[in-house]
Amino acid sequence: MVRSSNRNGHDCSAADVERDAGMNSNLESLIDELNREVPEPDLALLSDIYEKVIEKLNLGFDPSVLIVLDNEDAHQNDIERLKFKIKEQVVARLLGRANSVVMFGKVKSGDANSFTKVVMRMGMKPAKIYILALALFLLDPALEPLAGRSFSRAILGRILAEELGFKSTAVERVEMGALLQDIGRIPAILYEIQESTSLGEDFVSAWHPLLGLALLRKYEMAGYLEETLLHNHFSFLHRSLSPLAVIDLADLVVKKSFAKHGKLIVESPLPDATIESTLGSSILDQFSSIGYRKYVEVRQPPDKGRS
């Protein structure tokens, strides 16, 4: 819906109208994909968020440099040079993630001491998603609790998928989908800060999938991630849970824990004289590696706690 005047009733120039038409066209095409009616007040607010936040997002680096990670045949030197083109804080956390126990695949963390090794260990497409996700979550300190919940869901989802015997590609889809399930809340929070307003949880809950879809398209992230935002039902495969169902289960656990404790609390044995690693210690290692250790607590089972 394109108007010839702005919100204050002032006449707009032809360039303004053309810009707004392009912006509204992009937003309306996304709304069409959701197949939902959008009340006029919500549409106006969504248009404002799209124009003022999503269109103007600055990650601190040019996201187009990540195109090298879309090429499986990319030269190692091109991959290595990426670390000089993206934010240092993102590189540091990506390095920590790649060296965590879960990525190394052994009891003790490994040493990926070059950026190329980091990318190869994580996988090129997952590394690209992680870089973009970290850059988005680090845009403002107010996003840290959202990041804590998102990484909680991703880490727990990965563990569940592995324990259910999912293949590596399906495990990856669970982890990445769970990480970005609430990505649309990022522009909502940034808009609230920028405009000194409150959108209300009802509005954000209803429309963050649309805003998330806009971000996925803006940064050309993997198409399968859109399913995570748009699916509406708990789904099964022929004889097992689907990746989307595992994400939903992880999300339920995380929501319940954060609502009660403000962090993810799990019960698990920890390493002792007889065992070097447990799922609990792996979870702690993963949270520490990405800088969100404050958002997890591992409690030992009652019998262990008394010994």
pLDDT of residue 203: 97
Residue 269 has pLDDT above 70, yes or no: yes
Query: What pLDDT score was predicted for residue 102?
Result: 62
Domain count, the chain: 1
For residue 207, being part of any structural domain is answered with: no
Domain-located, residue 215: no
* pLDDT of res. 10: 42
In-domain check, residue 280: yes
pTM of the model: 0.87
Cα 218 to Cα 231: distance, rounded to the nearest angstrom: 20
Can you tell me whether residue 236 is helix, strand or coil? strand
Taking only the tens place, the pLDDT of each residue in 219-238 is 999 889 999 999 889 999 99
Q: What is the pLDDT of residues 290-306, one digit of tens each?
A: 999 999 999 999 875 44
Q: Does residue 278 fall inside a structural domain?
A: yes
Q: Which residues contact 44 (CB under 8 A, 6 or more apart)?
A: 7
Q: Mean pLDDT throughout 197-217?
A: 96
Q: Which long-range contacts (C-beta less than 8 Å, at least 24 apart) are formed by 259-263?
A: 261/297, 262/145, 263/148, 263/152, 263/294, 263/295, 263/296, 263/297
The whole-number pLDDT of residue 107 equals 38
Q: What is the pLDDT of residue 87?
A: 94
Given this model, what pLDDT does residue 113 score? 75
Output the pLDDT for position 99. Answer: 84
Asked whether residue 273 is assigned to any structural domain, the reply reads yes
Given pLDDT bands bounded at 50, 70 and 90, which one contains residue 243? very high
Which pLDDT belongs to residue 16?
44
**Residue 223: DSSP 8-state:** T
Domain that holds residue 292: 263-307
pLDDT at 204 over 50: yes
Q: Does residue 72 lie within any of the structural domains?
A: no
Q: Please say if the pLDDT value at position 15 is more than 50.
A: no
Encode pLDDT of 89-142 as tens digits: 999 999 988 888 565 554 345 566 789 988 998 999 999 999 999 999 999 999
Calculate what percentage of the chain has a pLDDT beyond 70: 87
> Residue 68 is encoded by which pair of tokens?
């090298």
Lowest-pLDDT range, 37-41, 176-180, 248-252? 37-41
